[in-house]
Amino acid sequence: MSDPSLAFEPITQLAAKIRAGALSPVALTETLLERIAALDGRLHAFIAVTRERALAEAGAAELALRGGQDLGLLHGIPYAAKDLFDVRGVPTTAGTRLLAANVAREDAAVVRRLAGAGMVLFGKTYTVQFAFGGVGVNHDQGTPHNPWHATHHVPGGSSSGSAVAVAAGLVPMALGSDTGGSVRLPAALCGTVGLKTTVGRVSRAGVYPLSFTLDSVGPLTRTVEDAALVYQALQGVDARDETTAGVLPHDALARLEDGVRGLRLALPETLFFDDVDPEVERAVRETAGLFRSLGAFVESVKVPEAAEAMADQKRALAIAAEACVYNARFLDEHFDDLDPVVAHRMIAGRQLSAPDYFALMRQWADLRRRLGARLADVDALLVPTTPLPAGPLADVDRTRESYTQWNGRYLRNTAVGNILNLCGVSLPCGFTREGLPIGLMVYAKPFQEDMALRVARAYEQATDWQRRRPDLAWATGAPGR
């Protein structure tokens, strides 16, 4: 590899080198494509590498910059997209071989937005089948390998390949989607930053759906600043996604560096810290002291709405019920060909009656109103992204029962944010004795992504967790799954 140091540089540093003439988009693209060829046989992050498109886009970016046409800091920067996002001429498989011939005719709305910002698309990353799972396991196409351990540990899902690609230095950014934690959960387990946006902020047109009610789009990056840069380019109204109607873009960068002095932050003691791994709890609670030293007011609060949101067992069927609509033909005609864990969890959604579904939606709306009133004077919540770090694949996926148990534990703290319509950022706040990442989640109120990013940025600037890199010596051998 010509310059391995480039592999872990954030977008802001790469952009500065490009503008200083020390790095060209083509050289950067060639370097990272070489890294993917060397490492991805073991990591299993990419289902498709669009090499020719990447080189063509990098060449176009380089020519434009030489000609004085600068589209901003994302111009010439590589990225990848989860295999739910349509990319023209490439299959959108949504994690199943049954969709191998589902070749997209046009790019998803967000892929077009990033093209407009001059970014260079490297290809598609693996996901959980139909994006329906939090541990990141895919029994059909294979499970990406968490880069922080030589033994196969789960990467988190469902944006599993995107998190692995960023954490391993294959690309500086990758797109993910989040329905119950699918951006934040793999970000936490793989030691990256993940931004969950409020539904309506970013168009989902051209993204294979799981739940129309809860699906959102967000980036996985190396730094909070990078996440803010990408988010700035992604947001905006799109007629093809009615949830974006009337949601005007806001400036997520204007106050990104303002710090937390005078802000009110809270540790929610209801649900979020229950049954949490001791190393995870210690790391997250220690962030309170750092935030206080930066001038924030930090207190503990009760959030009964969180427990109520997760107490109704019908909530687990709501996503499945919506997913059954989108995937009915596979459930009816190819059930035995599907990933058995996903298929059985999804088809259970047909048990939810229409009256129960409607009642659940009204209950969620009431919980959101009550939570808004309770947090009226709170700027952000500080919680563990996941109650436990990444587990060995062999333990997690030993039986269907063990998978279900691990999946439920991993998703708890993230799924409640989707139900309560919060936005949030997950970022590294420590490592376990085994060297596995621990994620801090900064929750903010709906449509306050700028606040979540600002708080997360202040913590990032005061620590150096994001500078740690996985030792990938084990991944340089022969391909293995």
For residues 175 and 110, give the distance between their C-alpha atoms in angstroms, rounded to a whole number.
Answer: 9
302 is a catalytic site residue: no
Joined tokens for residue 441: 């989640």
* DSSP class of 377: T
- Catalytic residue flag (residue 203): no
Least Cα distance to 274 among 313, 314, 302 occurs for: 302
Q: What are 89's two structure tokens?
A: 């001429």
Pick from 371, 386, 385: which is nearest to 420 by CA? 371
| Rg, the chain, Cα only | 21
In three-state secondary structure terms, 77 is: coil
Q: What is the DSSP string of 226-263?
A: HHHHHHHHH----TTSGGGTT-----SSTTTTS--TT-
* Residue 471 CB neighbour total at 10 angstroms: 11
Active-site annotation holds for 182: yes
Nearest alpha-carbon partner for 417 in 236, 216, 204: 216
Burial class (CB in 10 A: 0-12, 13-18, 19+), 354: exposed
Sheet hosting strand 264-268, strand order edge to edge: 46-49, 120-125, 78-82, 173-178, 216-221, 193-196, 423-431, 437-444, 380-384, 264-268, 297-301
Nearest 5°: the CA angle 439, 443, 446 is 145
Three-state secondary structure call for residue 185: helix
From 162, 177, 182, 216, the catalytic residue: 182
Q: Strands 120-125 and 193-196: what pairing?
A: unpaired
Choosing from 82, 124, 196, 445, the catalytic residue is: 82
Exactly one of 24, 158, 159, 211 is catalytic; name it. 158
Residues forming the active site: 82, 158, 182
